[in-house]
């Protein structure tokens, strides 16, 4: 852990506790994989990546800084969590996996002692008992506890209420998104490196376009390019994975072409994708023309780009985020596209597996722009007549205004 990360994580916990205290909460129980990562710095690759395990890792952060935090997760991950977090109270629950030392499992059981039997999956009742103990030891069984109820499975929410029936369980999902919207320097570094890696793969795709290539071919090119670039540089030791949406030609819409449609001269190729580095995802989009595109497509892309520029320019500390939405919408409506309609022109970005997270650049967003925010500004079109188009850039908000994190050309690049 670098000094900057240690300082940033300390600040994250301070801000989280300050917000709890302001809202009269006694504790916050992180439930989603992203909020567990945010509060601890620990990535549970085992349970955090799979929806059937959501709730398999829980982190309790008391509002009182003198009351210790606790981390509950599978016993197989507990030793690593103890070594890699600042949380002293790490408690593991059993699963089907054998985790005991070699000497233990090689020793015959004592006479009269029944051998250990493991569950075929995991026992929620054991996790519940651990959480009940953790809350009880801290005097929180009757407290006001915030958690991610908007994203909790029904079974999890019911179990919380059964194990602490006198507690007040409060949905704190929105508050956590608000806290996460302002990034610490180590978070910005991870997002910037994710952008670098993504853009290097976009360049490989651009330079590999040829007649007859399909969306499936492009997805494979992109994935291989990410792996090659990550493996060739010391800058990406924490690279995890990547994602991509590809549209080739007309009638492809938002991507995912399963027809095997082949690229022809004058058609568009649109890429919308990202990379995860250190748990943080990038999100960006570019459009290429294979040969000279129709004038109507070129003009439309120019209008989308100008709308994007206007939205980015509004991301100045102290201004309402909604101003960026209105700037983009007004430009589209007054420059030839009066019925162009989007619900948002971008979003915050960070730890979510699906990269779009609040606050959104929408007409009804009430939050103001703050220094340290990272927002993905996008002006896409997914129609099936001209072919899909997009311009999407991640913008870091500084004291001096918006600073683009993407460096690739933003205009419609023609590949001959």
pLDDT of 386-414, one tens digit each?
889 999 999 999 999 999 999 999 999 99
In a shared domain, residues 10 and 44: yes
In the prediction, which pLDDT does 102 show? Answer: 94
Q: Give the mean pLDDT of 373-386.
A: 94
In a shared domain, residues 272 and 199: yes
Tell me which of 181, 203, 231 is where a domain ends.
Answer: 181
pLDDT at 1 over 60: no
**What is the span of the domain harbouring residue 155?**
3-181
Q: Give the mean pLDDT of 76-105.
A: 93
In a shared domain, residues 26 and 134: yes
pLDDT at 377 over 60: yes
Q: Give the mean pLDDT of 352-374.
A: 96
In the prediction, which pLDDT does 255 show? Answer: 67
User: Could you give the CA distance from residue 375 to residue 323 in angstroms, rounded to a whole number?
Assistant: 14
Tell me which of 181, 213, 229 is where a domain ends.
Answer: 181
Q: Give the percent of the chain with pLDDT over 90.
A: 88
In a shared domain, residues 263 and 314: yes
Tell me which of 121, 149, 181 is where a domain ends.
Answer: 181
In the prediction, which pLDDT does 46 show? Answer: 84
In a shared domain, residues 208 and 164: no
Q: Give the mean pLDDT of 164-179.
A: 98
**Residue 325 binned pLDDT confidence (cut-offs 50, 70, 90):** very high
User: Could you give the CA distance from residue 62 to residue 29 in angstroms, rounded to a whole number?
Assistant: 9
**What are the pLDDT digits (tens) for 251-305?**
766 766 666 789 999 999 999 999 999 999 999 999 999 999 999 999 999 999 9
Q: What is the mean pLDDT of the chain?
A: 95
b (16+ CB within 10 A) / e for 87-109: beebbbbbbeeebeeeeeeeeee
In a shared domain, residues 149 and 252: no
> Residue 253 sits in a domain of what CATH number?
3.90.230.10
**What are the pLDDT digits (tens) for 194-213?**
999 999 999 999 999 999 99
Higher pLDDT, 186 or 3: 186
In a shared domain, residues 134 and 237: no
User: Could you give the CA distance from residue 320 to residue 275 in angstroms, rounded to a whole number?
Assistant: 29
In the prediction, which pLDDT does 210 show? Answer: 97
In a shared domain, residues 152 and 189: no
> Residue 149 sits in a domain of what CATH number?
3.40.350.10
In a shared domain, residues 156 and 131: yes
pLDDT at 218 over 90: yes
In a shared domain, residues 232 and 356: yes
Q: Give the mean pLDDT of 128-146.
A: 98
In a shared domain, residues 153 and 266: no
In a shared domain, residues 154 and 270: no
Q: Give the mean pLDDT of 368-373.
A: 98
Domain count, the chain: 2
In the prediction, which pLDDT does 2 show? Answer: 56
């Amino acid at each position: 852990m670098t000094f900057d990360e240690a300082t940033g994580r300390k600040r994250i916990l301070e801000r989280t506790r300050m917000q709890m205290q302001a809202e009269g909460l006694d504790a916050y129980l992180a439930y989603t994989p992203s909020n567990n990562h945010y509060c601890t710095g620990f990535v549970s690759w085992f349970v955090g990546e799979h929806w059937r395990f959501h709730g398999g890792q829980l982190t309790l952060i008391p509002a009182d800084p003198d009351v210790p935090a606790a981390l509950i997760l599978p016993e197989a991950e507990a030793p690593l969590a103890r070594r890699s977090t600042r949380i002293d109270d790490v408690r593991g629950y059993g699963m089907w996996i054998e985790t005991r030392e070699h000497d233990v499992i090689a020793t015959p059981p004592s006479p009269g002692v029944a051998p250990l039997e493991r569950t075929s999956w995991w026992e929620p009742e054991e996790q519940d008992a651990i959480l009940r103990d953790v809350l009880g030891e801290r005097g929180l069984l009757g407290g006001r506890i915030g958690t991610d109820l908007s994203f909790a499975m029904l079974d999890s929410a019911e179990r919380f209420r059964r194990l602490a029936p006198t507690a007040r369980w409060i949905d704190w999902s929105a508050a956590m998104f608000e806290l996460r919207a302002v990034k610490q320097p180590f978070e910005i570094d991870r997002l910037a490196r994710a952008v670098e890696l993504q853009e290097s793969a976009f360049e490989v795709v651009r330079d590999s376009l040829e007649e007859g290539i399909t969306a499936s071919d492009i997805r494979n090119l992109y994935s291989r390019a990410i792996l090659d670039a990550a493996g060739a540089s010391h800058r990406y030791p924490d690279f995890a994975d990547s994602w991509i949406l590809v549209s080739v030609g007309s009638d492809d819409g938002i991507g995912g072409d399963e027809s095997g449609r082949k690229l022809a001269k004058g058609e568009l190729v649109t890429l919308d994708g990202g990379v995860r580095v250190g748990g943080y995802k990038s999100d960006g989009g570019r459009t290429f023309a294979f040969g000279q595109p129709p004038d109507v497509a070129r003009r439309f892309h120019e209008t989308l780009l100008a709308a994007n520029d206007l939205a980015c320019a509004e991301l100045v500390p102290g201004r309402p985020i909604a101003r960026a939405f209105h700037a983009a919408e007004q430009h589209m409506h007054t420059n030839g596209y009066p019925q162009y309609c989007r619900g948002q022109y971008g979003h915050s970005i960070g730890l979510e597996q699906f990269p779009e997270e609040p606050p959104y650049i929408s007409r009804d967003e009430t939050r103001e722009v703050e220094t340290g925010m990272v927002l993905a500004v996008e002006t896409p079109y997914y129609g099936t007549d001209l072919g899909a188009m997009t311009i999407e850039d991640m913008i870091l908000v500084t004291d001096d205004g918006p600073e683009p994190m993407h460096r690739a050309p933003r205009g419609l690049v023609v590949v001959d």
